[in-house]
Amino acid sequence: MHQFQVYRLGPEIKLGNVDLSFTNSSLFMLISALSICIFLYFGSKKKGIIPSRLQLVAEIFYNFIAKMISDTAGSKAKPYFPFIFTLFMFVLLCNMVGMLPYSFTVTSHIIVTLVMAVFIFIAVTIIGFVKHGLKYLSIFVPKGVPVVLLPLITVIEIISYLSRPVSLSVRLFANMMAGHTMLKVFGSFVISLGLLGGWLPLSFSVALTGLEILVAFLQAYVFAILTCIYLNDALNLHH
């Protein structure tokens, strides 16, 4: 589908055999990142006791993420607040920018979400081993399980742990892609059914757009909260 097509913008950049050209995907990542910076710049510029509207929104986001982290991962996760905040804002803005017509949805590409998920997976594993040493392996042995079941449970736990990056990345990618594909399908229904019958799919795609905006926010939230939960497993070993 055309809306998911990645193409080169500007000159070709090659590092040895690897193509690192600036693409439309990179452009929309940049747009999202710059939007976040502009939003937060104006949201923290004035130091008023009574916040302006933009400042209020920025502070709501800040408090929202801070509360989410302290609820799921406790006070030990405070140093990771900037990372989770950045992650949430980046995914949210990428999803939202993708909702604009003629734009490109960065998060609808599996490679982008996979890179983020694999990074989180590796970082969480390293944090776990640094904090607890080899004791971190006890995460695969849940407490209160009968000894007979233990080999089976341990294997299941290892598989579920290793599948974390896949589930995390595929969840976001599949949601975004499915939503945009559905919008595209209903959009082409409008064109093909014409002035006479196009009204039904048109109203449907309006409703779907609303749903997609909700999904865009929800998936960013889910991505961030799952990261928090993984971080909690690594920081507080007992569960």
Partner 1 sequence: MRREIPLIIFIFWFETFLFAAEAGMPQLDSKYWFSQSFWLILIFLALYLSLSKFFIPKIKDNLDNREKKIEENLNAAKEFTDLADKKKLDYDNEISNAKKEVAKIINESKKQLDKNINKKKNEFEKELEKEINKAEKEILNLKKNSSKSINSIAEEISEKVIENLTGEKLNNSSIKASIEEVSKIKMDKYL
* String marking each residue 153-192 x if it binds partner 1 according to CB under 8 A: --------------------x---x------xx--x---x
Q: φ, ψ for residue 40 (rounded to 5)?
A: -75, -30
Minimum CB separation of residue 17 from partner 1 in Å reads 10
* String marking each residue 105-124 x if it binds partner 1 according to CB under 8 A: -x-xxxxx--xx--------
Residue 139 or residue 169: which is nearer to partner 1 going by CB? 169
Residue 19 is inside which H or E element, if any?
A: strand 18-19
Residue 140 binds partner 1 (CB under 8 A): no
- Other beta carbons within 10 angstroms of residue 70's beta carbon come to 15
Residue 129 binds partner 1 (CB under 8 A): no
Minimum CB separation of residue 135 from partner 1 in Å reads 30
Could you give the angle at the alpha carbon of 38 between the alpha carbons of 102 and 99, nearest 5°? 25
Contact at 8 Å (CB) between 23 and 31?
no
Contact at 8 Å (CB) between 68 and 77?
no
Residue 107 or residue 136: which is nearer to partner 1 going by CB? 107
Residue 208 binds partner 1 (CB under 8 A): no
> Is 99 in a helix, a strand, or coil?
coil
Q: Which contacts (CB < 8 Å, 24+ apart) does range 175-178 have?
A: 175/215, 175/219, 176/95, 176/98, 176/105, 176/107, 176/108, 176/215, 176/216, 176/219, 177/4, 177/105, 177/108
Only one of the segments 58-66, 70-78, 128-136, 228-236 lies at the binding site for partner 1 (rule: CB under 8 A); that segment is: 58-66
Residue 196 binds partner 1 (CB under 8 A): no
Residues of the shown chain interacting with partner 1 in the complex, contacts defined by CB under 8 A: 1-2, 4-6, 8, 18-23, 25-26, 29-30, 33, 36-37, 40-41, 43-44, 47, 49, 51, 55, 58-59, 62-63, 81-83, 85-86, 89-90, 106, 108-112, 115-116, 173, 177, 184-185, 188, 192
